[in-house]
Amino acid sequence: MTKAGSGPSGMATPWVPLLLNPRAGSLLNRDVDALAQRLADRLEREGIRVEVHLVPGKDVNALVREALSSESPPLAVIVGGGDGTLLAAAEALIGGSVPLGILPLGTMNFLARDLMLPLDPDAAVEVMISGLSGRVDVARVNGRPFLNQAVLGVKSAITRFREKRRGSLSPWHWAKVIWHALKVYRRSPRSRLEVVADGEVFRVQVHALGVSNNLYTDTPGPALSRDRLNGGRLGLYIAGHRGRLGLLKQLAGLLFGRWKTDRNLIVRNPARVSIETKRSRIHFTMDGEPVLGASPLVFTLDPAALPVLAASGTVDRLSDPRPSPLGRSS
């Protein structure tokens, strides 16, 4: 990677790496080179030199670490991709001072939505320039970090099926995913789990269980959201629904923003969660990526561990909010 050059005064020129994953869902049918050039041009108008890298998700972590080891560290690291790509970048930034700037180019874009970043990448860069820098909590499972949620059960099986067919966004692809979801729900056994949340013990048989980094709100719609990213606690969700009718009630509650009042859903806001089964390994998803972990799964949270760029309206969601380093007035 080329190091930052020097300006007329001899001071190092402010710079950022711009990393785009060409296999991100929103980029599959776009001119990635044109997008990268447009975003770089906008940042350069703020006096920032931009180094563009088109990289697969597996190479993102190494490139971020290389940028951080530079003689002149970047103002921020801007990454475009899905939740898995963003997690790879975040792992290198946790505990440091260089913020993560998110271009939401995946399918769900949970963290970008919670940071109030527009889903259009050009608009997201504008918001990152005029917005805030702050810190958000990072959750961990058996020491591995995640930014949004980990899910066991039916959703984990569906995600593993989807990952085998990544790269296709055709109606036929999504029809197969939905059909597989129905088959999995009908045929899959309810998992026997022992869950301990801050000392409270649940011995349950469930189709689905989730743990989130901070607690989700009752906002209507299929995309769950959080109004705090600095609360210092996890969210725990144990779904006890039975049969297709129970599943339909759960979906209706989600769509209309009343899922927390569902009597078949246990919701807690603990600092620590452990999940154990009789099996030595547990399939689950972590920020949308399939994982096979050792039982028990132990969930903890690191407060204010990750610096990020966010919209101005997120001041109450962040720890240590301050003006974005990308703006000329910073």
1 is a domain residue: no
Cβ atoms of 20 and 40 closer than 8 Å: no
Same domain, 80 and 188: no
Cβ atoms of 156 and 283 closer than 8 Å: yes
3-state secondary structure of 10: coil
What is the rounded distance in angstroms from the CA atom of residue 104 to the CA atom of residue 112?
A: 6
Same domain, 127 and 115: yes
Same domain, 151 and 299: yes
pLDDT at position 286 is 92
Same domain, 171 and 199: yes
Helix ranges (DSSP H) in 131-206: 154-163, 171-187
The CATH number of the domain where 126 resides is what?
Answer: 3.40.50.10330
What is the rounded distance in angstroms from the CA atom of residue 35 to the CA atom of residue 266?
A: 44
198 is a domain residue: yes
7 is a domain residue: no
3 is a domain residue: no
Q: Which residues contact 246 (CB under 8 A, 6 or more apart)?
A: 264
What is the rounded distance in angstroms from the CA atom of residue 33 to the CA atom of residue 321?
A: 33
User: What DSSP assignment string belongs to 189-239?
Assistant: PPEEEEEEETTEEEEEEESEEEEEES-----SSSS---S-S-S--EEEEEE
Structural domain containing residue 74: 15-136+304-323
Counts for the chain of helices (H) and strands (E), in that order: 8, 17
Q: How many domains does the chain have?
A: 2
Q: What is the pLDDT of residues 54-110, one digit of tens each?
A: 999 999 999 999 999 999 999 999 999 988 899 999 999 999 999 999 999 987 788
82 is a domain residue: yes
Same domain, 297 and 170: yes
5 is a domain residue: no
Same domain, 122 and 184: no
Q: Which residues contact 60 (CB under 8 A, 6 or more apart)?
A: 19, 21, 79, 81, 85, 88, 89
Q: What is the pLDDT of residues 261-313, one digit of tens each?
A: 667 789 999 999 999 998 999 989 999 888 999 999 999 999 999 999 999 99
Same domain, 65 and 158: no
Same domain, 229 and 106: no
Of all helices (H) and strands (E), which one includes residue 308?
strand 297-310
Same domain, 172 and 82: no
pLDDT at position 246 is 55
The CATH number of the domain where 272 resides is what?
Answer: 2.60.200.40
Same domain, 130 and 196: no
Span of 53-67, 152-166, 195-209 with lowest mean pLDDT: 152-166
Same domain, 255 and 310: no
Taking the model in full, what pTM does it have? Answer: 0.85
Q: Report the share of the chain in percent with pLDDT over 90.
A: 63
Cβ atoms of 75 and 85 closer than 8 Å: no
Same domain, 85 and 214: no
